[in-house]
Structure 1
Amino acid sequence: MTGAFERPDGERHGDLHRISHRLQQGLRRLGPKGARVRMRVGRGGLDETGRLFAGETDIAVVTPTAALSLLYGFGDLQGLLALGVVPRSGGLVAAADARLGEDTVAGLVARAGRVTIATAADDGVSLLGFAVRRALRVAGVDASVDFVYDEQPAVCCARYVAGEADVVIHDLMSSPEWPKVAAARPVKYLSWGPRVLHTFAGQGWPTRVLPAGRLPNLDADLPTLDCSDVAVLCREDLDDELAGLTARMLARGRHPAEASEVTRAPLPLHPGASRAYADLFAAVPLRSR
């Protein structure tokens, strides 16, 4: 089997690169002779789904899965299927300077001075940025704050430490920088509030509760927007044998009790992947969207 794998300069998602590289190497080694699967590591958002639609790639890794569920519910992403899921913990957390004296995201709108938020941009590619901007609009604060943007949580954290931002909204669970940030500057985790969480839940984006102690100085359970997991996607025309092989690689090392971790996909499973999971996890009910 031949393959194409590209890691662009400035790649900022090491976990996506590792997943793609592992799949590419496995498909090259175990796939049918002469088959070709194209993959490219980008930003893990709508850049990846766009390449699938354009026929530029055959398999893509995209995160978070909740964003894909929401977009699929809107009627987008038709013609794409899932091959499985790589579990990864994540949550969209709003962390503010404790000296602001706020407890909720909605409370930011009532402040006399404008607040600056460091977060990912809603630039038509970033699914995290899409979620942040949508959540802020529902909370009613989108037009009353200023923004500094970067897709990397570490950069947003650095801006918070430097005083360039009063609030960080990001998947802070994925940032090794956050414990140092929380130690360097007082922090208060802001509640999104029921309006935001219920609106998103009604559109297919689940709530995740972070238990007290899960983040530095988090002294109470925090309901937030789930940003977990990486979805492995393809078009409907991907060869069944390749789809099944990809599924088996994603399931490798998992017990039947863990079947839902890899099959709980935000889009319908490719038939080849579904059959492979059924064989691997016999007698375990499997569910995708």
Structure 2
Amino acid sequence: MNRLQANLLLTAIAIVWASAFVAQAEGMKTLGPVAFTGVRFLLGALVVLPLAIWEWRRRPSLALPPLATRQWLPVSLGLGVLMGLGAVMQQIGIVSTTVTNAGFLTALYVPLVPIFSMLLLREPPHWSVWPGGLACLVGAFLLSGAHDLVLQPGDAWVIASAIPWALHVLFIGRVADRLAAPFLVACAQFAAVGVLNLLWAFAFEPFTWAQVQACAGPIAYTGLVSVGLAFTAQVVAQRYAEAADAAIILSSETVFAALFGAWLLGERLDGQGLLGCALILGALLAVQLLPLLHRRFVQRTA
């Protein structure tokens, strides 16, 4: 898989995640958000488990170094902790802030990814990432429908959640590539997210088995498709995509969510929202096409 194919796969993942918003909204009518997240991620772990077992059994043929073989479980669980922390911190913030603020502030992970890439990995991204990241932030602000951003007490939690999200996007591709075991990595991190969220739910958001059964459809769709299929594909795609590019491409989820909302729920975007969509889509195309055009220019002039 080359870089362009990986970016196209990430775009497809963003579309799948966006389509899951409708199912998630339906599920929240019966089950609390943290419990819903825990159940669907555990379902996603079960979906990937057969592939993870197959990958574990073929480890000898992969000729992985002993260090990588020993590290796959703790490293994968660490990724799951990052993902789980992001989800929980975001959820705490949403309780005491507006959805508009939360949606905009979560997008802060987009510029954080290239910043962390330079600070932690000493890997400067392609120059197109910087204007692309800024365009995503402005686009998310416009798409949220906000005319003025008044910070609420929970905003600090949402801002803090951008840090584990950014670190997860930054490291997931490197870990999967180093271990050459994307299904093992995916299964372990899904299980970690599921357990963390369910522990939180049992303590602060009690639920019953009847509630789980009542939203079986939304859980099945988001667990099988959004987690089992799309999140696993993310692990595979980010073995070949730049982390900063991936952050911008995945942020297009907000655009596709708006389109699904218009299609399935009858929601409509005003001119401000359409401009936000255009900025995010423009950034998505820029980070995919500009490096390719630059490479072709260099080849022709060489």
Q: Does TM-score exceed 0.5, indicating one fold?
A: no
Question: What TM-score do the two structures reach when normalised by structure 1?
Answer: 0.24
Question: What TM-score do the two structures reach when normalised by structure 2?
Answer: 0.23
Greater per-residue strand proportion: 1
